[in-house]
Amino acid sequence: MARGKALYSRKFFLANLVMVGIIVGFALSTLVFSCSTRLEPGDSAFAQEPGTTPEINVSSLQGSFRQVSTAVLPSVVKITVAEGGDGDEQGNFPWFEFFFGEPDGDQPRRPRGLGSGVIVERDGDTYYVLTNDHVVANGDNIQVSLDDRSEVDAELIGSDPRKDLAMVAFESDEDIPVVRLGDSDALAVGDWVLAVGSPFGLQSTVTAGIVSAVGRRGGPQGNISDFIQTDAAINQGNSGGALVNLRGEVVGINTWITSQTGGSIGLGFSIPINNAKTAISDFIESGEVQYGWLGVSIRNPSPVLAEDMGIEEQDGAFVFHVFEDSPADEGGIQPGDFMKAINGTPVENADDFILRVGDLVAGEVVEFDLIRLGERQTIEVTIGRRADEETIAQQSPRAWPGMSVLPLTDEVRSQADIESSTSGVLIINVESRTPAAAAGFRRGDIITRMNGSRVRSVLDFYRELNDEGVDEVAFTYEREGEESTVSIVR
């Protein structure tokens, strides 16, 4: 009886009702899902509808690579420089035998240089090829191999070690494409690029990568260019070849790599094509690159110097010496000036300043914004034409003043073992054959007075040095505890 009453109780009825509801709800949801989304084995289910987020079109990207390669390859050549002239084949290309072995004893000559080049101009049947200076430097018997593997002799038109650029020319009555030059200033980190050239002599090789960085400094000694860094594979033999954007425009000339093995490790560097455009015209017109000349010795200031001069944490370039009778001297630029801008465009550092002055045209009047003794000024200078390296080297005696100094901070005193009671500025460098060297100054001398006035900072040093009211600067200095005086005529 008790069991029967339990079956007909209110609580039992409600429990059954809830259970029936759950079963019906589950059945209905299954039916609805099966009608709206039917999955077969192997199908994928999406958490959201396809197309709601950007997708990479791989086929389009591959098509771009193919189109660019097809368009550019006929304009990129292999360059072979045969032994000859007075160049040192072992010194210039020590890697050749490592990769290609020793030549047979009966061979009269062998390749001294292998590289690449880019056809950048045509004048009738004459084609002009831009390449690197280190590919063709001091060489003769230059041969160009075209994309169709035909070979023609080429002539060196001109070369320039400062930018590591050179130009050769060859004759052909064939219709050979000329590359389109792009705007390297428009490149951004992450942009796709292709490197085209002849690594290890393997002609018409194309590799892909991205722009890893722009505005890189350093590189081969003496090169004044900044560089595009890329992870597109660049190897020996790619030098002088093209770095190309996805529009098929040449944006760089591949130049050097960083590697401990001699092969690509994803650190390749190219000269921005905007740095080479003026050189292309100069090579064709005169056979040499013509640089603007200001006539200053300029470097980045050390943190200690910058703080003492009140220019810390600022972009710019510091003038250490000015050459007598140079455009800078005649225009009023002085040692100690901190160059801030050229024609209104800010200067990043000394390398940037040197590169941009070199691109100025001789005879052009240029505005230089600078800081002098803490005050902003603008000076106009008529740019000169830079002489050759030998002539520039002979002008050392004309560099004023010929010495560089630092303030006597606690750190400097500690490193140089200078007593705290001594005040002045410390000479840290004396350029040979300059007025300072001729006066007998040495590194380690401490200048305490100039023109009879106390010198307590680098600012004081440059104020007295550039005093237009005196023609002869009198220095009092200490050396190993002994005090001396010497004068230098401007």
**Per-residue pLDDT tens digits for 48-102:** 444 444 455 666 777 789 999 999 999 999 999 985 544 333 333 433 333 333 4
Question: What pLDDT does residue 220 have?
Answer: 73
The mean pLDDT of 221-248, rounded to a whole number, is 91
pLDDT of residue 61: 76
pLDDT tens, 327-348? 999 999 999 999 999 999 999 9
Residue whose C-alpha is closest to residue 81's, from 8, 142, 155, 20: 142
When pLDDT is cut at 50, 70 and 90, the band that residue 17 belongs to is low
d(CA 266, CA 130): 24
Q: Which pLDDT score, from 0 to 100, does residue 87 have?
A: 37
How many Cβ atoms sit within 10 Å of the Cβ of residue 329? Answer: 18
Cα–Cα distance for residue pair 424/461, rounded to 1 Å: 9
Question: Given this model, what pLDDT does residue 230 score?
Answer: 95
Mean pLDDT of 246-267: 82
Q: How confident is the model at residue 110 (pLDDT cuts 50, 70, 90)?
A: very low
Residue 134 among the catalytic residues: yes
pLDDT value at residue 60: 76
Q: Which residues contact 233 (CB under 8 A, 6 or more apart)?
A: 195, 199, 207, 209, 264, 266, 268
Confidence of residue 228 (pLDDT cuts 50, 70, 90): very high
Distance CA 29, CA 37 (A): 12
Q: Is the pLDDT of residue 463 over 50?
A: yes
Distance from C-alpha of 143 to C-alpha of 112, rounded to nearest angstrom = 12
- pLDDT for the residue 420: 86
pLDDT range class, residue 23, cuts 50, 70, 90: low
Distance between CA atoms of residues 172 and 162, nearest Å: 30
Q: What is the total residue count of the chain? A: 490
Give me 381's structure tokens: 């200078």
Query: Tokens 């085209």 label which residue?
Result: 196
Query: In the predicted model, what is the mean pLDDT of the chain?
Result: 85
For the residues of 385-424, what is the DSSP string, one character each? E---HHHHHTTGGGEES-EEEEE--HHHHHHHT--TT--S
Question: Between 2 and 389, whose confidence is greater?
Answer: 389
Residue 286 has pLDDT above 90, yes or no: yes
Determine the pLDDT at residue 9.
53
Q: What is the largest CA-CA distance in the chain?
A: 132
Contact 269, 256 (CB under 8 A): yes
Query: Residue 98: left (phi > 0), alpha (psi -120 to 50), or beta?
Result: alpha
Q: Would the pLDDT of 111 be above 80?
A: no
Catalytic residue, chosen from 75, 116, 133, 134, is 134
Q: What is the pLDDT of residue 267?
A: 86
Q: What are phi and psi of 464, to 5 degrees?
A: -75, -35
Give percent of the chain with pLDDT exceeding 70. 80
Active-site residue identified among 75, 116, 239, 404: 239
Mean pLDDT of 165-190: 96
Give residue 261's pLDDT band: very low, low, confident or very high (50, 70, 90): low
Range 103-128 average pLDDT: 76
Instruction: Give the model confidence (pLDDT) of 418-442 as tens digits.
Output: 988 899 999 999 999 999 999 999 9
Quickly tell me which residue has 């018997």 as its tokens: 141
> 214-218, 225-229, 279-283: which has the minimum mean pLDDT?
214-218
Residues 279, 281, 283, CA angle at the centre, nearest 5°?
65
Q: Is 270 a catalytic residue?
A: no
Is residue 233 scored above 50 in pLDDT? yes
Q: What is the pLDDT of residue 53?
A: 44
When pLDDT is cut at 50, 70 and 90, the band that residue 297 belongs to is very high
- pLDDT the model gives residue 10: 55
pLDDT of amino acid 259: 63
**Burial status of residue 389 (CB atoms within 10 A of its CB: 0-12, 13-18, 19 or more):** exposed
Give the pLDDT of residue 81.
93
Helix/strand/coil (H/E/C) assignment for every residue in 121-173: EEECCEEEEEECHHHHCCCCCEEEECCCCCEEEEEEEEEECCCCEEEEEEECC
Single out the catalytic residue among 160, 164, 226, 460: 164
Higher model confidence: residue 84 or residue 194? 194
In this predicted structure, the answer to whether residue 218 has a pLDDT above a threshold of 90 is no
Sign of CA dihedral 369, 372, 375, 381: negative
